Amino acid sequence: GQNIDQPTEMTATEGAIVQINCTYQTSGFNGLFWYQQHAGEAPTFLSYNVLDGLEEKGRFSSFLSRSKGYSYLLLKELQMKDSASYLCASISGGYNKLIFGAGTRLAVHP
Amino acid sequence: GAVVSQHPSRVICKSGTSVKIECRSLDFQATTMFWYRQFPKQSLMLMATSNEGSKATYEQGVEKDKFLINHASLTLSTLTVTSAHPEDSSFYICSATTLMGGVYNEQFFGPGTRLTVL
């Protein structure tokens, strides 16, 4: 079966660093994604990890450990506009099906 | 980057009517389109996978006779919610991709359609 877990809500302070964790159990694993979604909008792509290790992209970094079924998204120098839901998703199957976690709602406050 | 549009962006209908939502890939040919549903404060739930020229593959628990999906061309897929009821009120999002082999081909998401059934 498919199971993706991530915290429901997190809060952080502007300028700080926050780490959003995700654990997954999926069959036919082909990669782990992170998306950002503002309320009422479509998700926007942040990162894709298929190999173990850390991928850095500006203020956002994503880490994957396939042996542990674990990933995290690291956001640095938080800004108010980073307040959004962050969705962890795993891809499996021949048609690139994305299976999403429930999402983590991040609130950044001054 | 690749652009996917959805129409309408917002629709309100009466219970018992049918609503059609269009998903278009504007600058690429999409061999596969996906339809998701998202309830408030919940994540995206995959409803079905749609391949051009063939029948859609529905996820477990999704009624194929209620949610009709047509993918008649490489740039257009439609989702029709038949005999809509208030519990069908949700945010419907499509995504499109072109399968070119390899581990993964990026999915490009449409802006979503907010359906409200009165």
* Chain mean pLDDT for chain A: 91
pLDDT at B42 over 90: no
Residues of A in contact with B32 (CB under 8 A): 95-96
* CA atoms of A97 and B2, how far apart (whole Å): 19
pLDDT, residue B30, reads: 87
pLDDT, residue B1, reads: 66
- The upper half-sphere exposure of residue A11, i.e. CA atoms within 13 Å in the direction of its Cβ, equals 2
Neighbouring-strand partners of residue B113: B92
Contacts of A53 (CB under 8 A, 6+ apart): A63, A64
Pick from B114, B108, B117: which is nearest to B37 by CA? B114
Range with the largest mean pLDDT of A33-47, A75-89, A95-109, B48-62: A75-89
pLDDT, residue B58, reads: 94
pLDDT, residue B51, reads: 86
Residues of B in contact with A40 (CB under 8 A): 91, 112, 114
User: Shortest CB distance from A97 goes to which of B49, B51, B103?
Assistant: B49
> What backbone torsions phi and psi does residue B97 show, to the nearest 5 degrees?
-150, 160
